[in-house]
Copies of this chain bind each other. A is one copy, B any other.
Amino acid sequence: MPDRPSRPGGRSNRVLTAIYTAVGELVGQRADKISFPVIAERAGVNPTTLYRRWADVNALLEDVAVAALTRDGESVPDTGSLERDLTEWANIIARDINRPERARYLRAMVAARVDLVANCAITDARREQAAEMVRRANERGEKTPTVAQILDHIVAPLYYTVVFALPLDDDHAGRLVRDVLAMAR
């Protein structure tokens, strides 16, 4: 399916293309302006604190997001049923990431990504948590969806909704869990 050809009204299209390209370039540049010295000054800390701890600004942004999204010692629900575990877990995620501050950190993190990332700390953490719940359910002899399905059909829609600043309704997490359990085999 080719890109659409230029049409009558080509000048207007050229102007639009110039504007859109400018926006894309400016957005790409913005990430560079958040530098260690700028952050250090605003935070009132010595820049060496930042250089010692993080390889670059992206690594710091990643940590900001992870810090905002996960907590030390956060335990994975263990209720004795995968449906209840997933429901509790999905609701915890939804409540957490839907707070304005956490949503802002999350958008900051993705906005700073330009190239594909080999590992996303958030996805990795959620994958481990999902694997733990699935493993326990399998030990109990329950049918389960795969870990990949839990990431695609519970984690992804929740993060998508929050990152796109769309409203999350109260039962959204519960619906996603019921949907993914329909894939269990």
Contact = CB atoms under 8 A, between A and B. Distances in A.
B34 A33 contact: no
Nearest to A151: B157
Contact of A113 (B4, B30, B164): B164
A21 interface: yes
Interface residues of A, number: 74
A30 B81 CA distance: 45
A45 B15 contact: yes
A108 B4 contact: no
A51 B147 CA distance: 48
A22 B1 contact: no
Contacts of A157: 152-153, 156-157, 160
A1 B166 contact: no
A125 interface: no
Copies of chain A in the complex:
2
B39 A22 contact: yes
Interface string A134-167: 0000000000000011001101110111011111
Contacts of A179: 149, 152-153, 183
Interface string A66-82: 01100111100000000
A85 to B, nearest CB: 15
Interface string A11-32: 0000110111111111110100
Contact of A111 (B42, B43, B110, B182): B110
